[in-house]
Amino acid sequence: MSKWTKDKNKDQYEILIENLVEKFNNYVPPLVNFILDGQYEEEITKPLDFVVVRTDLNLVTQLCKLIDSLVKTPESYQDPDQIEHMLVFCLVWSFGISLKTESRVRFEEILRRINGGRGLPSTNLFDNFYDFNKTKVWIPWEKMVLNY
């Protein structure tokens, strides 16, 4: 994350960087520990199973690239809650997507515990899209895909 923040203009991206780094530190270390080592707080379980084996560096690099692809202008991310929702969406599609189906359930459970229930949809996170640019709400993918 520090490389990602160094590449951004500090004046333009100040609010985004400040909020994103704080939230990154709240989510990423515990999720990486849980995924790779099976440890969350005092709980120790079997590490999660990957479809394709990943390292902690692979996971964080993919997360930062996904965040970068979504952040078009710094003005669009001034609200701390929206920044958190964007991060959660990116965690699902960078960390979670590389896991086997059974491990995705455990990943989502820990992700929700870290989040504390702040504004996430009640349905499976993998079944939802966070609309960053327009409505700023979670939308089921089935409503995003046109019938054909």
The reply to whether 134 falls in a domain is no
pLDDT of residue 6: 60
Query: In this structure, is residue 48 part of a structural domain?
Result: yes
Say which DSSP state 139 is in: E
Is 114 within the bounds of a domain? yes
Per-residue pLDDT at 3: 60
Q: Which of 8-12, 100-104, 142-146 has the lowest mean pLDDT?
A: 8-12
Which residues sit opposite 140 in a β-bridge? 128
Provide the domain limits for residue 117.
Answer: 2-121
The string of pLDDT tens digits covering residues 105-134 is 999 999 999 999 889 999 999 999 998 878
Positive or negative: CA dihedral 58, 59, 64, 67: positive
Count the domains in the chain.
1
Q: Which one of 11-15, 54-58, 76-80 scores highest in mean pLDDT?
A: 54-58
Considering the domain boundaries, does residue 135 fall inside one? no
**Looking at the domain assignment, is residue 148 inside a domain?**
no
Extract the runs of DSSP E, i.e. beta strands, from the chain. Answer: 39-40, 43-44, 128-130, 138-140
Which one has a higher pLDDT value, 32 or 146?
Answer: 32
